[in-house]
Structure 1
Amino acid sequence: MKSGAGSPFEDDFDDDESAEETETADESQDAGRAHAGPDSGSSATDTADTTSNLPYKYRRDGVQDDRDHGNIFLRDVAQTHVDELVDRMDETFQNESVYKIDVLEAAILAAGEPDKTVEDELRKMGYGMK
């Protein structure tokens, strides 16, 4: 290369390093705030313990939390059955919105066990607790 000509990517590396330094500094400040008070550690632990004891429906922030994405391809007859099952679960849990993704997961969990039902699995998730 000619003298004085730098790599076209040289500036990118400098930006990455400064961004990493800023992130590290921010993380250090956050860690300092977390340990600032004598009770801050125990209240965070208490909150986490309380949350982990809740049914899944109440622990999550969104319906897709803690779930992996998986594609399911259904024929029309199966899709109709799923739609009917969601409608039945909406009737069962009248005061709640029942999500299709929850119904599908409950159906899968109940499918292999003769003593389990979709309704039972939804109750385990937290439906019917209102």
Structure 2
Amino acid sequence: MTGMKKGAGENPFADDSSTESKTDTAPEAEEPAPEQDDEGGSNQAEDEDEKQSRQQIQIPYKFRRDGVQDGRDRVPLFLQKETKVAERDALREFEDRFEENVSLTDLREALMKVGLQHLDETEECLEEWGYGMTFD
């Protein structure tokens, strides 16, 4: 053993004067330990992943992202003039409420999500536009 570097696979409790039979059994004795360490390590890694997931859930999207388009798909949006005016008014209203700039992209998605949660009201709007009309 002299002249060699001590490594992770070496038994730290073995004497330098150990026989071959002890050397042969030492790696076998050490094999279960790394498996146990791996299991413990994977549990620790899972715990850390869960903590990170919880932290990401707790951190609002506005602060987690790199930019306003981060994590979003681009979709075309064409608005009627009165809708565009109402959107602008809503943007100003929310900027007053939050006392900070509000991203138009964030506002649009929030309006979309609220609309998706209120399909009955959305249906009424679509009916006003002529959906569901029949000409029998």
Q: Which structure has the higher relative contact order (CA within 8 Å, separation 6+)?
A: 1
TM-score normalised by length of structure 2: 0.46
TM-score normalised by length of structure 1: 0.48
Structure of higher CA gyration radius: 2
